[in-house]
Amino acid sequence: MKIDFRKIETQDIEGNKAYINISKELGNAIYNKTADIGELELAREIYKQGEIEVDAEKASIIDKYVNETFLAFVKESICPVLDDIINPKK
């Protein structure tokens, strides 16, 4: 599944839709915290391209860093999408 980290749909405090770009911040978070070469490449891909194909393995990595780095309103938007990729409904 493709995810465009430049256009993550969130809600403001009043429940209105808002779109945020987390591609640079997420890419930097992974890049600055990982010791894994594969995760380093994923960080570069997210940072440079913004929209990437996300499989279950990448979704697990991204989920870990989203939970470590971002505030609740961002987690509320992106984590369910990542969870659906990691644990697809049958």
Phi, psi of 35 (to 5 degrees): -110, 0
Helix, strand, or coil here: 18?
A: strand
How does pLDDT run across 23-59, given as a tens digit for each residue? 999 999 999 999 999 999 999 999 999 999 999 999 9
Domain extents in the chain = 2-86
Please give the model's pTM, rounded to 2 decimal places. Answer: 0.93
Q: Does the structure show a pLDDT above 70 at 90?
A: no
Helix, strand, or coil here: 16?
A: coil
Average pLDDT over residues 63-70: 97
